[in-house]
Amino acid sequence: PVNLISAYSSPDLQDTAQDLANLLTKIGPEQALIGSDMNALSTLWGYANNSSRGNIMEDLISGSTFTY
């Protein structure tokens, strides 16, 4: 089974990232598909530079077994 997650990005993205990390710890990241507009710029997904929000999302991804 796959868990479909639609995530709202609060103004404090660190809180959102922590909520997602906690959820993924419970269900397992290999069983989740997350959709959200985080307004997080990162060179990992094609932007020229990273934003602070992009760095937060990169940290979340690097601490998990995400595929992006």
8-51: pLDDT as tens digits: 888 999 999 999 989 888 887 678 888 999 999 999 999 999 99
pLDDT-derived band at 68, boundaries 50, 70, 90? low
Bridge partners, 6 (sequence order): 35
Rounded distance between C-alpha atoms, residue 68 and residue 65, angstroms? 10
Q: What was the pLDDT predicted at 47?
A: 98
Q: Is the pTM of this model over 0.85?
A: no
pLDDT-derived band at 52, boundaries 50, 70, 90? very high
Inform me whether the pLDDT recorded for 4 exceeds 90.
yes
Domain spans of the chain, in order of start: 3-62
